[in-house]
Amino acid sequence: MYLEKNLALVKERLARAAAKKSRRPDEVVLVGVTKTVPVETIAEACKLGLTQLGENRVQETLPKMEALPKEISWHFVGHLQTNKVRFVIPSFHLIQSLDRLKLARELQKEAEKQEVAVKALLQVNIASEKSKHGFHPAEVEEALTEISAFPNITVLGLMTMAPYVPDAEEVRPYFRQLYELFTRTRVPGVYMQYLSMGMTNDFEVAVEEGANMVRIGSAIFGERKE
Ligand SMILES: *Cc1c(COP(=O)(O)O)cnc(C)c1O
């Protein structure tokens, strides 16, 4: 019951934020972040139409994938250790957290071995926070150029996590900056299709600043315990 209400409310807030910038609600992809959420609850959300799901731990996700409908597209949104790459490649639809060149090299090696193509977003550490992973804004173009030479990886855009602040208005300049980078960067072989920014705390501001993909956990599933 609460799920249906929460989901409807999130969609309504998303639509309102999109409308402020004259965009249709369906121009923004809603990814439900299901880390720590039990399988039964995810199955319910799936029935309500939420089929793009984000997870940040490989071990936690693989059993969920087994138990849940195949129509779900799984997004990896966590810091990915290179020794987990071989599990992630066949099962995730989009790796949103390509945050270092070493990871790109490992993804390429493993994707070549498995003879598949990998889709990814480049993670940008937009506020240059020590506690966060990702490329600094000034490194983005060079990183994309380097990664575009890897035949089995296709980069489809950028992802960021803004600093956590009580008032989301404070991070508006960061979202604006990433949108700028998103629209300005042109690297052959890189498709700037998705700008993934905005979480429970700040998704409306992110959408107003041009996000076309948001990753929302607690506003849909409730507060996480950890
Ligand atoms: C947990 C997480 C989210 C969702 O966080 P909420 O604040 O619960 O919406 C989004 N993106 C990433 C990368 C996360 O780790």
Kindly report, residue by residue over 67-119, the tens digit of the pLDDT.
999 999 999 999 999 999 999 999 999 999 999 999 999 999 999 999 999 99
Atom of ligand 1 nearest to the CA of 215: 10
Q: Give the model's pLDDT for residue 142.
A: 98
DSSP lists the bridge partners of residue 155 as 120
Atom of ligand 1 nearest to the CA of 96: 13
**Residues of the chain with pLDDT > 90: what percent?**
97
* Cα 85–Cα 87–Cα 92 angle in degrees, nearest 5: 90
Residue-wise burial string across 127-141, b where 16 or more C-beta atoms lie within 10 A, e elsewhere = beeeebbbbebeebb
Query: Does ligand 1 have an atom closer than 6 angstroms to the CB of 198?
Result: no
Q: Which two tokens stand for residue 78?
A: 């966590």
Strands in the chain per DSSP E: 29-33, 52-55, 73-76, 94-98, 118-124, 153-160, 194-196, 213-216
* Ligand 1 pocket test target in 77, 171, 175 with most atoms within 8 Å of CB: 77
Output phi, psi for 196, to 5 deg: -95, 105
Average pLDDT value over all residues in the chain? 97
Answer yes or no: is pLDDT of 225 > 90. no
How far apart (Å, rounded) are the C-alpha atoms in residues 171 and 175?
Answer: 7
CA-based torsion, 181, 182, 186, 190: positive or negative: positive
**C-alpha distance across the termini of the chain, in Å:** 23
* Ligand 1 pocket test target in 125, 199, 207, 226 with most atoms within 8 Å of CB: 199
Query: Does ligand 1 have an atom closer than 6 angstroms to the CB of 159?
Result: no
Atom of ligand 1 nearest to the CA of 35: 1
The residue contributing the CA closest to ligand 1 atom 13 is 77
Q: Which helix (H) or strand (E) holds 2?
A: helix 2-20
Query: Does ligand 1 have an atom closer than 6 angstroms to the CB of 157?
Result: no
pLDDT digits (tens, 9 = 90+) for 135-192: 999 999 999 999 999 999 999 999 999 999 999 999 999 999 999 999 999 999 999 9
Q: Give the model's pLDDT for residue 226.
A: 65
The residue contributing the CA closest to ligand 1 atom 10 is 215
Cα 59 to chain centroid distance, Å, stands at 18
* Ligand 1 pocket test target in 14, 33, 195 with most atoms within 8 Å of CB: 33
